[in-house]
Amino acid sequence: MLSRRVALTQRLVFLNFVILYSAALALAQIAGGLNETTNTRLGGNNYIVGTVFAPDGRPIATRMRLRLSSPMWGDILAVTDDRGQFVFSGVGAGTYTITIDREKDYEPVSQQVEIIRARSTVPETYTVTIRLQAVHNPKVRPSVISAANAGVPERALEFYEKASKLVGERDYQGAIKQLKLAVAEYPAFVNAYNQMGVLYLRLDELDKADEALRAALKINPEAYEPLVNRAVTLFRMAKFK
């Protein structure tokens, strides 16, 4: 009887080891490996996970340099993988800025992330999407601002742009009101629903975030950003299945 218990214990220990090793291996394959450039060691257990998109709305297909900056910790350099994905691990509480400014074909761009808690029982994952813009050529006048928003009525775009401005001012509730006006004007506005879901995530209103992201995916089930953001939402809601 004792030997059977010992054998069972050994099997459970081995199984846990395999699971933990597999998880660590999977994470290490993202953005060149968490054990090198992306493990920040900034006193926390949070993750910043993101994707860099080309101007046409598709993830970039090459490695790209980026920088994680904070007033307290300074700069940490990293590189995306060849699908435009990146991960920063071990991130503590604070305000961080992710910047891409060394690519000759694209305008400098940055995205801010605010992490409230340094550590928690379940590590939190913050998702970031960065849309690149081609270097402006004065001789070429662009016909649309964003390919992803092509076909969206002008009035709905005005509400969306107002929401973007309010996000920059950290008026998330005001931005959500503008996004609701945008989808009321144009019910098939996937980007507006996605942004609404992201803002609800920041406000920790997970049910509303899930509702907004499901609305986006109902319009376009293949939309990448709402799909990733909903996965994060379900993870934070402990709906792992």
Q: Which residue, of 97, 131, 165, is where some domain finishes?
A: 131
Write a three-state SS string for the chain. CHHHHHHHHHHHHHHHHHHHHHHHHHHHCCCCCCCCCCECCCCCCEEEEEEEECCCCCECCCCCEEEEEECCCEEEEEECCCCCEEEEEEECCEEEEEEECCCCCECCEEEEEEECCCCCCCCCEEEEEEECCECCCCCCCCCCCCHHHCCCCHHHHHHHHHHHHHHHCCCHHHHHHHHHHHHHHCCCCHHHHHHHHHHHHHCCCHHHHHHHHHHHHHHCCCCHHHHHHHHHHHHHCCCCC
* Greatest mean pLDDT range, 113-122, 128-137, 161-170, 181-190: 181-190
Shared-domain flag, residues 154 and 119: no
Length of the chain: 241
pLDDT at 7 (0 to 100): 53
| Residue 24 forms part of a structural domain | no
Shared-domain flag, residues 124 and 156: no
CA distances from 129 to 2, 58, 141, 159, 183 (A): 54, 11, 26, 20, 21
- Provide the percentage of residues in the chain whose pLDDT is more than 90: 20
| Residue 5 forms part of a structural domain | no
pLDDT digits (tens, 9 = 90+) for 100-117: 987 888 888 988 888 888
The closest alpha carbon to 54, from 32, 83, 79, 81, belongs to 83
Mean per-residue pLDDT for 206-224? 91
Average pLDDT, the chain: 79
Q: Look at the chain and report how many structural domains it folds into.
A: 2
HSE (CB half, 13 Å, CA atoms) of 237?
17
| Residue 195 forms part of a structural domain | yes
| Residue 214 forms part of a structural domain | yes
Q: Which residue, of 106, 131, 156, is where some domain finishes?
A: 131
| Residue 55 forms part of a structural domain | yes
Say which CATH number the domain at 232 has.
Answer: 1.25.40.10
Full domain range(s) for residue 99? 46-131
Indicate whether 38 pLDDT > 60: yes
Indicate whether 16 pLDDT > 60: no
pLDDT at 100 (0 to 100): 92
| Residue 158 forms part of a structural domain | yes
Better-predicted residue by pLDDT, 120 or 63: 63
Say which CATH number the domain at 88 has.
Answer: 2.60.40.10
pLDDT at 143 (0 to 100): 37
| Residue 56 forms part of a structural domain | yes
Shared-domain flag, residues 95 and 165: no
Q: Which residue, of 72, 100, 131, is where some domain finishes?
A: 131
Shared-domain flag, residues 122 and 159: no
